[in-house]
A and B are shown apart, each in its own frame.
Chain A
Amino acid sequence: ETGVTQTPRHLVMGMTNKKSLKCEQHLGHNAMYWYKQSAKKPLELMFVYSLEERVENNSVPSRFSPECPNSSHLFLHLHTLQPEDSALYLCASSRGTDTDTQYFGPGTRLTVL
């Protein structure tokens, strides 16, 4: 247990569906991250939030929409995804964005049909 939880753990959705991934951290951290990990590929940083403000958006398609309502919660809203978006989506948190170790959640395994 890292103190970062993600729900759901598994998700199957069609290309026309709308779904959301949820991340919650119980560590009192100020920064939260979304990563994508496709099969046999390195982790790709998608979004970074610091104190609820988005500080990084790594050229992610608009069909992925993040939301950070407070420093403990992070959402990734999904709509009209493509099969190539199937991947493990990982959430992480850290005390700050530059100085501290990232703690990762278990991930959500997403399959887009």
Chain B
Amino acid sequence: LAKTTQPISMDSYEGQEVNITCSHNNIATNDYITWYQQFPSQGPRFIIQGYKTKVTNEVASLFIPADRKSSTLSLPRVSLSDTAVYYCLVGARGGGFKTIFGAGTRLFVKA
């Protein structure tokens, strides 16, 4: 199973772009990279998923270099409501039961 490493916490201010990087040196050829967001006392929520290069949706962008040993979640113009824990997962396309949630990155957005 590919292990992921993320910063434990990050601080930002409203309106800034936030980039959270995840390392996954042992990623397998058929592994996808998935990011989830979790607010306190709620279940995680899917944000974005990618395999290589760049993926963008209405919430975030995901940048994946050619070697796929890391990935960066980019949140444009964060607001106070983006304060949450962000998890990077590597594994079967949707996560599946073989995917392990790590400790995540606690993002705190300040006014």
By secondary structure, the B interface counts as loop
A residues in contact with B98, CB < 8 Å:
98
Q: How large is the interface on A (under 10, 10 to 19, 20 to 34, 35 or more residues)?
A: 20 to 34
The 8 nearest A-B residue pairs measured at CB: A104-B43, A100-B94, A43-B101, A98-B96, A48-B97, A98-B92, A101-B94, A101-B46
Residue from B43, B46, B49, B96 having most chain A Cβ neighbours under 10 A: B43
B residues in contact with A56, CB < 8 Å:
97
A-B contact count (CB 8 A): 68
Q: Is the CB of B97 within 8 A of A45?
A: yes
Q: Is the CB of B103 within 8 A of A42?
A: yes
By secondary structure, the A interface counts as strand
Q: How far is the CA of A105 from the CA of B43 in the complex (A)?
A: 6
Q: Which of A13-21, A61-69, A71-79, A89-97 contacts B (4 or more CB under 8 A)?
A: A89-97
